[in-house]
Each structure stands twice: as C-alpha cells, then as structure tokens.
C-alpha cells in the first residue's frame, strides 16, 4: 500500500549508478501496477507506477500513517499515473545540483605538417653508439662523484715551455697530456678502477690503455692510447694528435678503437661546465673534464681569481666503492694542481 509519505523502490538514476530513493506519491492508495521495472533508468517526468484511490481495496494503515490517510481521503480523484516530475526525490535533486557541467572535448594537438620534417636513416656508427650507451645504463650501477681543480700551475707550465716543447718534439703541449698522466697515476694508486667485472670474477689489468672520446662530424669515436703508463708527455700528445686526425678524416680503424681500460671525455672543449659521463663498456669508470672558468677562490686567506675546472668520475658501484672513487679523483686534482708530483712520484 502506498501512503502519502511516499514509498521506496530501486531504479537506476540518470545522475548516479544505482541507488534506493523515496519517490513521494501525490496521495494515498494501492499500487495497481508498476510501469517502470526494477533496474530501469528513469528521468524526471517518467511514469513509474499506477495507484488507486485509498478507499478501494486498501488495507488499514498503521497509526503513524493515519494522518496521511485522513488528508488523502478528503478528496477522491480518479486513479492516475504517478509523475516523477511533480516532486523530484530530494537525493536525486541534490545529486543533480552537484553534477558538474560536461567538459568540453579536448582538441587534438596541432602538429607541424609532415612536409616540414625530414626522415634520415641512422648511420651504423650512430646505431652502434646508441646500443652501447643503452647497454651501459642497463648493466652498470652508475654513480658520479665530483671535484674541482685549480688549473693555474698546469696552465703556467704549458705557457712557460710551449715554444721549447714544440721546437723539440714538433707537437704542441696541451692540457690533455697532463690529465692522461694524472689518470695513469690515479689508476696505479687505485687499481680497482682499472679492473672490470667478468661474470662472478674481477679482472685486474696490469696495463693501462686510455680511451680518449673524440667528437667527429659523423659521431663520437673513442680511440685508444696503448700503454699510456709507459709514455711521456710528448709521446702522449703525438698519439692524441694522430688518432684525432684519423677520427676526423674517417680513416681510423676498428683496432685503434678496440679495448681500452679507462676513458677520458673532455666536454670542456665545447663549453660544458658540468656533466655526468656514461661509462664506456666494458670499462668500469670514465673521467669527465669540463670548461675552465675564472672564479674567485680563497688562497692563503685572500680572495683571488683562479682558472677552475670541474671534474667528474662516473664509476660502476658494483665494483668500485665510493672511497676508491673519491681517492682517485683526489689524486687527479693533486697531480694537475702540482705536476711536480709526477717527477717526485709523490
């Protein structure tokens, strides 16, 4: 029996998934039939049931419902269909008020026309470099440590002896030979950085082959200076010049780029201030050099301008601990800042 207070039934609301709500009847009566079935989706104004007037075949109402029955019995309208539009359920009206307006469909991004693009196949060199660098990222537990170097003494050494050096050896004295010699000293002090992991073993190398990263118009190549630990400044400079010329001419051979136990990359020639170089597999570490910038430094209690360079060592943390990496980079700093250490072996 339907009372004036309303009745409960389950219908799918257009503003929600599935809820139980009270739909108020306009008057008391008995449900003749349901127009809407349980589970149907209805909108305001849709007929959901047909009721008869309260006096025909109605059962007695409970005491709490008598007030509604008396009010409804004052008039005897013919049976009619209940319209949801006459009084929307409070819960439904509340949900309707909270329903946000539909969002506008996102427009497709305006891309440049294909006529303004060029598709060029990757060179074999570029594909090889990409593969090796990605393999390096996927294999090594790479970590980078940094330090800074005061270049004053090494630059003064080059300035004082560049003419005599060129006259005797037929090659200019550069900064790279100083860093190669410093790296050799550091590798001799920390041999694990010159080692490599092979399966469950560690291979310690009793030779030092330094790879020098060289940028060419066709891509990055890494020629190797063999037995750098047995070479002097002049021999290193000559080998660097020879390999760099071949790399730029495209005449460098595979054998001249194969192997290497440690790599030096000089991004400073392009103006790089700081970077985290990627290890050249299967090596275990790489030294990154950067641009020389004059900065104010405290020397002997006074602030003076100094030519400073940031240096970075990226290493395989599976093999090399932070202690060895920091000691190695500190050795580079000590030798470059005071090249006399090489002569005295201290």
- Residues assigned a catalytic role: 317, 321
**Cβ proximity of 283 and 261 under 8 Å:** yes
Residue 126 Cα to chain centre, angstroms: 22
Residue 5 Cα to chain centre, angstroms: 62
Compute the Cα dihedral for 179, 185, 189, 194 and give only its sign. Answer: positive
Please give the Cα distance from 301 to 201 (Å, whole number): 49
Encoded tokens for 273: 């201030």
Count CB neighbours of 252 within 10 A.
Answer: 20
Strand 19-23 and strand 41-42: the pairing is unpaired
Q: By C-alpha distance, which of 237, 210, 243 is closest to 225?
A: 210
Gyration radius from the chain CA atoms: 42
- Strand order through the sheet with 80-83: 29-34, 47-53, 80-83
DSSP 8-class letter at 81: E
């Amino acid at each position: 029996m339907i009372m004036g207070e309303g009745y409960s039934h389950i219908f799918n609301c257009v503003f929600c998934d599935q809820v139980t709500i009270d739909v108020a009847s306009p008057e008391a009566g008995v449900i003749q039939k349901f127009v809407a079935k349980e589970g149907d989706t209805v909108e305001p104004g849709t007929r959901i049931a047909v009721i008869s007037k309260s006096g025909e075949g109605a059962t007695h109402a409970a005491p709490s419902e008598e007030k509604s029955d008396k009010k409804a019995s004052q008039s005897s309208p013919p049976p009619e269909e209940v319209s949801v539009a006459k009084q929307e359920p409070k819960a439904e009206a509340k949900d309707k008020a909270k329903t946000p307006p539909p969002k506008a469909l996102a427009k497709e991004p305006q891309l440049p026309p294909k006529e303004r693009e060029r598709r060029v196949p990757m060179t074999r060199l570029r594909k090889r470099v990409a593969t090796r660098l990605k393999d390096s990222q996927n294999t090594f537990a790479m970590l980078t440590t940094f330090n800074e170097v005061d270049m004053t003494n090494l630059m003064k050494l080059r300035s004082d002896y560049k003419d005599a050096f060129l006259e005797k050896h037929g090659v200019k004295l550069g900064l790279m030979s100083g860093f190669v010699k410093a790296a050799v000293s550091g590798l001799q002090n920390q041999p694990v950085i010159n080692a490599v992991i092979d399966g469950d073993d560690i291979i310690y190398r009793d030779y030092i082959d330094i790879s020098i990263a060289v940028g060419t118009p066709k891509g990055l190549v890494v020629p190797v200076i063999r037995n750098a630990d047995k070479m002097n400044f002049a021999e290193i400079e000559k080998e660097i010049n020879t390999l760099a010329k071949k790399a730029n001419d495209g005449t460098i051979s595979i054998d001249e780029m194969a192997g290497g136990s440690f790599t030096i990359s000089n991004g400073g020639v392009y103006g790089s201030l700081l970077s985290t170089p990627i290890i050249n597999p299967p090596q275990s570490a790489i030294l990154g050099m950067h641009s020389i910038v004059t900065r104010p430094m405290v020397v002997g209690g006074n602030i003076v301008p100094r030519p400073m360079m940031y240096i970075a060592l990226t290493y395989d943390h599976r093999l090399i601990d932070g202690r060895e990496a920091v000691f190695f980079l500190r050795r580079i700093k000590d030798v470059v800042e005071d090249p006399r250490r090489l002569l005295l072996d201290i």
